[in-house]
Amino acid sequence: MPNGAGPVRARNDPGQYDDLTDEWWSPFGKFAALHWLARARAALLPAPPYPGAVLLDVACGAGLLAPHLTGPLAGWQPVGVDLSELSLRQARAHGITPVRADAVRLPFADASLPGVVAGEILEHLPDLEAGCAELARVLAPGGVLVIDTLADTLFCRIALIRIAEHLPGGAPPGIHDPALLVDPARLHRLLAGHGVRMAEPVGLRPSLRDYVAWLRHRTDRVRMLPTRSTAGVYQSVGTKEQS
């Protein structure tokens, strides 16, 4: 461990989330952008089809989606899957039912879940095809899938990884592997091959005004605004075809 700062890890090593576990709920910490994205993710969710419907949050981390399941979304029963036991402990404290599991081996029955969220996880999967197959497998016919991820573009590699990793609010250094970024067209083809039809992806960018206010600690929220460009972060919502 260099200078007591923690182990040196390879890019995309999931152990980094355990190293940074104290950062999860800090609005000005290393996971600040994940809070901003969680709010944008929740905005795509429909009301649950019935009270207590299970909403699976794949790679839930410490449960950042939970505070946004209010109002029309309050009827969802959130279940979170993650590899990090330390993160899952925090998720439980925020109302998430925690399940320790891998995103490519989800411990749920086929066609059993009315809602699935996969936010900021697909760009971490060495086997994207297997991950998409699992998301589709557990999703019930008519169920909703909400995703957001990082695009496989030169812009994303430079702006969101090489540069943003060194900016406040950017991803922690080494958290992403540029080789695993996700092309939107390929992602949609993979999901369509398993019966999940996704809407056209929409790009996201932080509000510059909010970001400046956040840097000055005048707000703890930064809105993620829609943009036509899907060259950076993008999100989409889809539905599993009826049998």
Q: How confident is the prediction along the chain (243 residues), in pLDDT tens digits per residue?
A: 334 455 789 999 999 999 999 999 999 999 999 999 999 999 999 999 999 999 999 999 999 999 999 999 999 999 999 999 999 999 999 999 999 999 999 999 999 999 999 999 999 999 999 999 999 999 999 999 999 999 999 999 999 999 999 999 999 999 999 999 999 999 999 999 999 999 999 999 999 999 999 999 999 999 999 999 999 999 999 999 987
| CATH superfamily, region 2-238 | Vaccinia Virus protein VP39 (3.40.50.150)
Please tell me whether the overall predicted TM-score, pTM, comes out greater than 0.85 for this model. yes
Query: What count of other Cβ atoms lies within 10 Å of the Cβ of residue 192?
Result: 15
Partners of 239 in beta bridges: 144, 197
What single-letter amino acid sits at 200?
A: E
pLDDT at 243: 72
